[in-house]
Amino acid sequence: MVWVHLFGVFAHLFIVFANDVADVTVDRARGGRTLVSGGSGVLVEGKISVATLKRAALAMALLMPVPLWVAELGVWSAVYAGATVLLVWLYSFPPVRASYRGWGSILQGVGVGVVLPLVGFQAQAGSLGRLFWWFLVPTFLLGVASNLITALPDLESDGASGKRTEVVRWGHVKSRSVVFLLLACAAGYVGVLVLGVFFLSTLCVGLGWLWVEHRRLKGGATTLRFVEVTMGVLQLTWILMLAYGLLGQRLWSYWLHGIG
């Protein structure tokens, strides 16, 4: 599993470096970054040149398949690394540049909610033969939601820069409502699969808190507090799904329901 985590490190760095290069003009016009958006800031702050960061992104792209090959994923090493590069190219770079056209969240949902779970599953199981494919539905929804919530703090600056992201087109209120709906659907879907009272009640508390924050903002701009609460609920859903996967269905059901 160490090798899979190393793939994750290389993939994460490649995505950050590549997006910084692609968004440097918009980031400079924005004049700042938030806790969850705006990239690393190294180009805007003049800490490194664009050419150097391009080379770093290329290096990470070339390194990505190596740990998966060591983990004995064979040809899938190149497939997963190639899929990561393709998704980033479609998301950030011309001619597609999906993040500027209003469907970048779909690509992030595919990358975070489909590609990464497939890598983790295959690395542990040895193949995808026993994968419960329907479990990728909530992970995809969580990936889409994470893209939308991190774009909300940049709504005004993105709009002024000409980016037509989903949140720019929808506005604060509708975007927050969509994020809440995506999280509720993901949590409810997993709850039905797991059938755990603890799982459902825990997520209901988180979703209830998120709804209160949404109503408190009314028609106003999205606050950092709302973003933090949303990310907390999103991560809670991921953690409970991971716990279910690690404990196994029988042990998880025993813990939740006790001996029948």
Q: Is pLDDT of 233 > 50?
A: yes
Q: Is pLDDT of 258 > 60?
A: no
When comparing pLDDT for 32 and 73, which is higher? 73
pTM, two decimal places: 0.82
When comparing pLDDT for 254 and 5, which is higher? 5
**Amino acid 105: pLDDT:** 94
pLDDT band at 260 (very low <50, low <70, confident <90, very high): very low
Note the pLDDT tens digit of each residue in 187-196. 777 766 665 5
Percent of residues, the chain, with pLDDT higher than 90: 35
Residue 195 phi, psi (nearest 5): 55, 45
Q: Which of 158, 250, 235 is nearest to 203 (CA)?
A: 235
Mean pLDDT of 91-110: 93
pLDDT band at 237 (very low <50, low <70, confident <90, very high): confident
Q: Mean pLDDT for the chain? A: 81
**Amino acid 183: pLDDT:** 84
Rounded (10°) CA dihedral 211, 244, 82, 97: 0
pLDDT band at 118 (very low <50, low <70, confident <90, very high): very high
Mean pLDDT of 195-208: 61
> What is the C-alpha end-to-end distance of the chain, expressed in Å?
35
Q: What is the CA radius of gyration of the chain?
A: 19
Is residue 91 helix, strand or coil? helix
**Amino acid 129: pLDDT:** 86
The DSSP letter of residue 152 is: G
**Amino acid 221: pLDDT:** 64
Which amino acid appears at position 6 of this protein? L
pLDDT band at 197 (very low <50, low <70, confident <90, very high): low
**Lowest mean pLDDT segment, chosen from 14-28, 31-45, 95-109, 112-126:** 31-45
Alpha-helical regions (H) of 161-223: 166-194, 197-217
Note the pLDDT tens digit of each residue in 158-182. 888 778 889 999 998 888 889 888 8
